[in-house]
Amino acid sequence: MTTDVLGASVKRVEDPRFITGKGRYLDDIKLAGMTYMSILRSPYAHANIRSIDTSAAKAMPGVVLVLTGADVPYNPLPMAWPAGGSSGVVNNINMPRVLATDSVKWTGEGVAAVIAETAAQAVDALEAIVVEWEPLPVVVDAEKATEAGAPQLHENAPNNVVFNWTVGDKAGTDAAVDSAEVVVRQRIVNQRLIPNPMEVRGDIGLYNPGTEEYTVWMSSQTPHIQRLLLTAFVTGIPEHKVRCIAPDVGGAFGTKIFCYADMALVMLASRLTGGRPVKWVETRRENYQSTTHGRDHITYLEIAGTRDGEITGLRVKTYANLGGRLSTIGPGVPTTLYARVLSGCYKIPNVYCEVTGVYTNTTFVDAYRGAGRPEATYVIERAMDLFADEIGMDPAEIRRRNFIAPDKFPYDNPSGLGTAVNGEKIYIDSGNYEPAMDMALKTVGYGSLDKAKTDARSRGKYLGLGLSTYIEVCGVAPSKWIGAVGEGWGAAMWESANLKIHLTGKVVLTMGTQPQGQGHETTFSQIIASELGLPMEDIIVQHSDTQGTPFGYGSYGSRTATVGGEAAVKAAGKIREKARHYAAHMLEASVDDIEVEGNEYRVKGSPEKKKTLQEIAFALDLGFSLPEGMEPYLDETVYHDTTNCTWPFGTHIAVVEIDEETGKVDLVRYVAVDDVGKKINPMIVDGQLHGGIAQGVGQALWEGAVYGDDGQLLSGSMLDYAVPRASWFPNFELGETVTPSPVNPLGVKGVGEAGAIASTAAVANAVMDALSPFGIRHIDMPFTAPKVWRAMHDKEARS
């Protein structure tokens, strides 16, 4: 019996192929007659295109086709999530074209494409394209871009403003802040990040001139959505004529959610070459310039409260840099996914936030692991520490004083999630924040901090400890809320599963979700094995192909287990129910008398009268003998819409040491107590936390996309953009509390982003604690050695 497989740390069934080089990624696909595409990208951050001469390139060896914007008959890329959804907020939308026609708005925007017999020939021919440019003034900073006299990017966006969006009670918050005993104000920057999946993006387009159908392979988190966007919005090709396939995907972190110009380009190029396959794989440098970036907020925060530590108000103004044109859901990230959870796990009665989305001459910004919630957590967790410092209260104590109490759920969040829009509200449905914090404090030995600091000083180090008590929102839902507010994809957010038990008893689960390394093939197998009492090795999980999987919204936002997992459970339930009915037929018993244990369907009171699921499948799939009204085959499809988001939470604690001579920050301990509900596979949950923590720490200590004033990306390669190395981290000390989610019977909440949401603020608070002897209250990330050294010396010079 295999029912205990759910909740076990089963080794990942995908890993043998991934770690022995047998994964099949986009670039591994080789098709007969393949051609290769390379894209000419703008060397200027802002320029008009006066002319493009491709004649020399067309004459280069091996060149099959050269395309410019004038050759592309398609629409610009679609905007799926305007700020405010359907609430009427004005969004000044400018989307990228498949190839730029009149002007470019960032260094790296595509202006021409060469399709050639070899990849090298395509790159060589790019150098022969002559573009006459008219360079224009450049602005890269979101706040400066809104100021008078700043270079203007788009005629329809005065002062480069994409939108002005607000949430919360302005009058109430103004009153609370302006009358408070204590108000702390701080400008904080959440710097721009480059997501860096291990596998870069790429696509292959294949047009069949006989059927006029297209197949598009893409390294994507969302093949079904891409088919919808590419057909209904970009190309006008009928949806049923396009098949999208995502092969093994080597990491994504959000960047592969979106609709990109290259996807449409390979479709067009394949058609124009008479149906030759066209492959495009971006270089790492292209990935840095023209695949989405993350974060990039400038925020003015004001946190108000009483001298004894009760927080009464939070007023926030944020400038969100969205790049030169918008990415697919760019405006949704710094609005709903950010400000609606700004008050975190605290019962702050008055919260108001204004967000200005801004165009600048930079790469477009969209969802990156956590998407808005890391930015929100950074604001509120820094704010709590700043306030505690101001009133001289212990950072743990101020959090304890302001946590939403466990008996207050479902909690109507004043920063906006619960704000009724068109009659639909959602609530934080569960939480119990103190036990997680207490466990983390105990693990780290919170009381013995002073001695640790003294010991560190004797070694030339400043030690600091930082807390981050976070909440997370997973699996944005339900569809009726999304429909009412017009947010999200502008489409529903249910998920799908199809489950078949074949004649031989082998099981195929096909999902609408789309893994990028998370181990879905393992976790879904565990669910089905547990539900049906079958060995995992008899189950295969398929996904990623619009032909053969039910429509699904894909994997992002930590939604796969919470929404897709439930679809799989329901599909297994339908299979079980049909099998019970058929068992009754086979055993000549009443359905009500059939009981199920594992894979055995038995007659109550006569346990020797039984059929296994495999026996039932064999007979039912053949269908020689069917009861009245029953269709043959064990094959069930479920479309599952969940009733709410899920709400993981926890406490992360970072301990850092700063070298007094160099300013170098070392992370020396990291404690994380997370409540992600029940776990399907604890090892995979730990792995998700490890990766998320590392990414969040990376932002705090090392990572940052840096543009020069001319709009050139200075951190344009891994030589200048510091992707964290495993050896820079201590062992993570993980703990857990378990508060099952009430919205799904699995009790799961999602864990893909939690680490990245929590850890940045924990490290930042630790660094500020370490620097407190210098009187330093706040500096901005990343806390590189030169920056920390400068801050220490500035303070020394003044004192």
Partner 1 sequence: MIPAAFDYARPASLDEALTLLARGAGSAKVLAGGQSLLPLMRLRLASPAKLIDIGRIAELRAIRDLGGGATGIGALATYRDVLDSKLATHNHPILAGAIPGIGDVQVRNRGTLGGAIAHADPASDMPAILLALDASIVIRSGSGERVVGIDGFFQGAFATDLAEDEILTEIRLPATPAGAGMAYCSIEQPASGYSMVGVAAVVGRSDGSISSARVAITGVADVAYRATAVEKALIGSDAGSAAIDAAAAHATDGQEVSSDFNANAEYRAAMAVVHTSRAIEAAFAAAG
Give the binding site for partner 1 (CB under 8 A).
119-120, 123-124, 283-285, 661-662, 664, 702, 706, 714-715, 717-723, 728, 784-786, 789-790
**What end-to-end distance do the CA atoms of the chain give, in Å?**
71
Could you tell me the smallest distance in angstroms from the CB atom of residue 181 to partner 1?
Answer: 41
Could you tell me the smallest distance in angstroms from the CB atom of residue 797 to partner 1?
Answer: 12
Query: CB count, 10 Å around CB of 28?
Result: 11
Separation CA 330–CA 362 (nearest Å): 13
Name the strands in the sheet holding 606-612, side by side, starting at the edge strand that comes first in the sequence.
Answer: 594-597, 600-603, 606-612
Could you tell me the smallest distance in angstroms from the CB atom of residue 191 to partner 1?
Answer: 13
Could you tell me the smallest distance in angstroms from the CB atom of residue 257 to partner 1?
Answer: 25
Query: CB count, 10 Å around CB of 502?
Result: 16
Coarse DSSP helix, strand, coil percentages of the chain, rounded to the nearest 5 percent: 35, 25, 40
Could you tell me the smallest distance in angstroms from the CB atom of residue 381 to partner 1?
Answer: 24
Which of residues 702 and 774 has its CB atom nearest to partner 1 in the complex? 702
Which of residues 637 and 784 has its CB atom nearest to partner 1 in the complex? 784
Separation CA 616–CA 342 (nearest Å): 53
Which of residues 354 and 666 has its CB atom nearest to partner 1 in the complex? 666
Which of residues 199 and 487 has its CB atom nearest to partner 1 in the complex? 199
The residue type at 103:
S
Could you tell me the smallest distance in angstroms from the CB atom of residue 725 to partner 1?
Answer: 8
Which of residues 224 and 293 has its CB atom nearest to partner 1 in the complex? 293
Could you tell me the smallest distance in angstroms from the CB atom of residue 460 to partner 1?
Answer: 11
The residue type at 597:
E
Which of residues 203 and 636 has its CB atom nearest to partner 1 in the complex? 203
Which of residues 407 and 661 has its CB atom nearest to partner 1 in the complex? 661
Which of residues 238 and 786 has its CB atom nearest to partner 1 in the complex? 786
Spatial CB neighbours of 194, under 8 Å, sequence gap ≥ 6: 287, 288, 293, 294, 703, 705, 715, 721
Contact 773, 711 (CB under 8 A): no
3-state secondary structure of 658: strand
Could you tell me the smallest distance in angstroms from the CB atom of residue 123 to partner 1?
Answer: 5
Which of residues 582 and 783 has its CB atom nearest to partner 1 in the complex? 783
Separation CA 416–CA 242 (nearest Å): 39
Could you tell me the smallest distance in angstroms from the CB atom of residue 662 to partner 1?
Answer: 6
Spatial CB neighbours of 789, under 8 Å, sequence gap ≥ 6: 662, 663
Which of residues 411 and 721 has its CB atom nearest to partner 1 in the complex? 721
Which of residues 118 and 606 has its CB atom nearest to partner 1 in the complex? 118
CA distances to 444, 445, 772 from 463, in Å: 13, 14, 10
Alpha carbon of residue 578 to chain centroid: 37
Separation CA 624–CA 606 (nearest Å): 26
Separation CA 287–CA 219 (nearest Å): 13
Contact 544, 246 (CB under 8 A): yes
Could you tell me the smallest distance in angstroms from the CB atom of residue 706 to partner 1?
Answer: 5
Could you tell me the smallest distance in angstroms from the CB atom of residue 200 to partner 1?
Answer: 10
Which of residues 102 and 661 has its CB atom nearest to partner 1 in the complex? 661
Which of residues 283 and 547 has its CB atom nearest to partner 1 in the complex? 283
Could you tell me the smallest distance in angstroms from the CB atom of residue 104 to partner 1?
Answer: 21
Spatial CB neighbours of 29, under 8 Å, sequence gap ≥ 6: 204, 217, 247, 279
Q: List the structure tokens of 555.
A: 């994997």
Helix crossing, 613-622 with 565-587: angle to 10°? 80
The residue type at 453:
K
Spatial CB neighbours of 50, under 8 Å, sequence gap ≥ 6: 132, 133, 134
Helix crossing, 520-532 with 565-587: angle to 10°? 30
Q: List the structure tokens of 726.
A: 């495993």
Could you tell me the smallest distance in angstroms from the CB atom of residue 787 to partner 1?
Answer: 9
Could you tell me the smallest distance in angstroms from the CB atom of residue 486 to partner 1?
Answer: 41
Could you tell me the smallest distance in angstroms from the CB atom of residue 661 to partner 1?
Answer: 5
Which of residues 160 and 363 has its CB atom nearest to partner 1 in the complex? 363
3-state secondary structure of 668: strand
Strand pairing partners for 666?
Answer: 657
CA distances to 52, 256, 419, 559 from 556, in Å: 39, 9, 24, 6
Which of residues 567 and 693 has its CB atom nearest to partner 1 in the complex? 693
Q: List the structure tokens of 694.
A: 């590392």
Could you tell me the smallest distance in angstroms from the CB atom of residue 38 to partner 1?
Answer: 9
Could you tell me the smallest distance in angstroms from the CB atom of residue 654 to partner 1?
Answer: 18
The DSSP output letter for 444 is: H
Which of residues 38 and 146 has its CB atom nearest to partner 1 in the complex? 38
Could you tell me the smallest distance in angstroms from the CB atom of residue 92 to partner 1?
Answer: 32
Long-range contacts, 141-147 (Cβ 8 Å, 24+):
141/298, 141/321, 141/360, 142/296, 142/297, 142/298, 142/319, 142/320, 142/321, 142/356, 142/358, 142/360, 143/298, 143/319, 143/358, 145/321, 145/358, 145/359, 145/360, 146/319, 146/356, 146/358
Which of residues 508 and 785 has its CB atom nearest to partner 1 in the complex? 785
Which of residues 119 and 391 has its CB atom nearest to partner 1 in the complex? 119
Q: List the structure tokens of 54.
A: 């491709």
Separation CA 743–CA 627 (nearest Å): 36
Strand pairing partners for 312?
Answer: none
